A and B are shown apart, each in its own frame.
Chain A
Amino acid sequence: MSPAPRPYTLVAELTYRCPLRCVYCSNPIDFARTRKELSTGDWRRAFSDAASLGVVQLHLSGGEPMLRDDLCELIAHARACDLYTNLITGGTLIDEDKLRGFREAGLEHIQLSIQGASPEAAEKVAGVRSHQKKLEVARLVTAMGFPFTLNVVIHRLNIGEVPALIDLALELGAQRLELANTQFYAWGAVNRGALMPTGEQYQRAQGVAVDAIAKHRGRLEIAFVQNDYLSGEPKPCMGGWGRSYMCINPVGEVLPCHAAKVIPGLEFESVRERNLADIWRDSPGLNTFRGDTWMLEPCRSCERKDVDFGGCRCQAFMLAGNASEADPICRLSPHRAAVTSALDAAASDELIYRDVHNSRRLSAV
């Protein structure tokens, strides 16, 4: 087997605890079963080992990472490892003192999420009152000179607000705006019927974004993350499975992406039991879809197999029932009907909030 590729990015999901209840959350449905989070020492060792392996970018994520009491210590340690350190937060627990602590610890960038441009749309999705506080925090972050990205997950309930969200990002002083169309995994998949926009809504929002990207270039960078159901383009998920990106979940399992545990039968290992370099190289779960020997037709002989890697393995499992199949987003997939019927069925109004109660209910055996 060829040597393991160099990882560049680590997403550290420090906790699944979160004060918000966002209906599109990417945390696993059964997050409430999580028992013992990694200790401070476990995370410190993981960051050091990641840096030795070649990781240069660290995203401190969750859940809400602010709920970790050791966050400042972890930031400081990440900087000592020379990792570019980004905090991904919902913002509701941030105040000036906390930001001062982060600055001293060396935090380099903050990615703050909001759920919409208007409090009504935003809080319907977040499931708790939070919008006003987030705007105050965004202004504080700018006033204190932190570079920041405003992140908004886009779906049917807020897609009409895209122009207002661009104005808001400019007003708040963000350097970057992520208009991230919902990815349909975990809670996003549970709520797919209520979150899927129409093709027409999507085209319109994309048009607005494309114009704004050109208009604000050099001042506000705007990223429009595709909805692959509607774009029809399989995504080169994570730039290839186990290639340049790793995710470590709150209990230390090393994953190719935050969704991968949805695929049954894959064996992932925890940094509690084994060191990161060995896991990265040997983990059966990481090796399963590295390279292209696992591919079936039409991927195996496809000229785009090194471009999109057959799309997303998790989506292939979720929509075609087999993680080795082509992602059914692809027009060459024999399971394409799973995508078209999902689009036809997208008309629900029911929202299932991401909280402990629903997690227990949906994951009860």
Chain B
Amino acid sequence: MDAQEPWRPRLASRARLKFDAIAQQEMLLFPEATLLLNETGAAIVKLCDGARSIEEIVDGLAEQFRGVDRATLRREVDSFLASIRARGLLQ
């Protein structure tokens, strides 16, 4: 990764987001597992479009979750992205 360029995460090609009609929840599908996402997780995944930097993802989240302070959102984004990145679900 270029040190000048911020990371612009995108969902790995083997993973797919699906709204599950039975659980009424977003799910992240990949070959070996199914992750049920909470509202924040689903919103973050949708913002991982390969164009937004982490800061811009936090901006996007802040628009959807008004009233939550930015530092909290930033922590949520960092920890959620770290967890799915460790599973190879981001590129």
A181 at the interface (CB under 8 A from B): no
Residues of A within 8 A of B34 (CB): 8, 56-57
Mask, A106-127, CB within 8 Å of B = 1, is 0011010000000000000000
**Closest residue on chain B to residue A216 by CB atoms:** B88
Contact yes or no, B27 A218, CB < 8 A: no
A54 to B25, CA, bound (A): 13
Mask, A56-94, CB within 8 Å of B = 1, is 110100000000000000000000001010100000000
Contact partner, A175, options B29, B85, B88, Cβ 8 Å? B88
Residues of A within 8 A of B86 (CB): 217-218
Of B11-19, B44-52, B60-68, B69-77, which binds chain A? B11-19
Contact yes or no, A111 B31, CB < 8 A: yes
Contact yes or no, B20 A56, CB < 8 A: yes
**How large, as a class, is the contact surface on chain A?**
20 to 34
A220 at the interface (CB under 8 A from B): yes
* Chain B, 1-42, CB within 8 A of any chain A CB: 12-14, 16, 18, 20, 22, 27, 29-32, 34
**How large, as a class, is the contact surface on chain B?**
10 to 19
Contact partner, B13, options A6, A56, A147, A221, Cβ 8 Å? A147
Residues of A within 8 A of B14 (CB): 108-109, 147, 175-176
Contact partner, B32, options A145, A217, A223, Cβ 8 Å? A223
Residues of B within 8 A of A6 (CB): 22
A111 to B16, CA, bound (A): 17
Q: A175-B88, A176-B88, A221-B88 are in contact. Are A86 and B20 (CB under 8 A)?
A: no
A220 to B88, CA, bound (A): 7
CB of B13, distance to nearest CB on chain A (Å): 5
A191 at the interface (CB under 8 A from B): no
Residues of B within 8 A of A145 (CB): 13
A84 to B27, CA, bound (A): 11
Residues of A within 8 A of B30 (CB): 84, 109
Residues of B within 8 A of A57 (CB): 29, 31, 34
A149 to B31, CA, bound (A): 9
Q: A108-B14, A147-B14, A175-B14 are in contact. Are A219 and B29 (CB under 8 A)?
A: no
Residues of B within 8 A of A223 (CB): 32
CB of A84, distance to nearest CB on chain B (Å): 4
Shortest beta-carbon contacts, A-B, top 5: A147-B14, A84-B29, A221-B88, A109-B31, A86-B31
Q: 28 A-B Cβ contacts within 8 A?
A: A54-B22, A56-B18, A56-B27, A56-B29, A56-B34, A57-B29, A82-B18, A84-B16, A84-B30, A108-B14, A108-B16, A109-B14, A109-B30, A109-B31, A147-B12, A147-B14, A149-B31, A149-B32, A175-B12, A176-B14, A176-B31, A176-B88, A217-B88, A218-B85, A220-B88, A221-B87, A221-B88, A223-B32
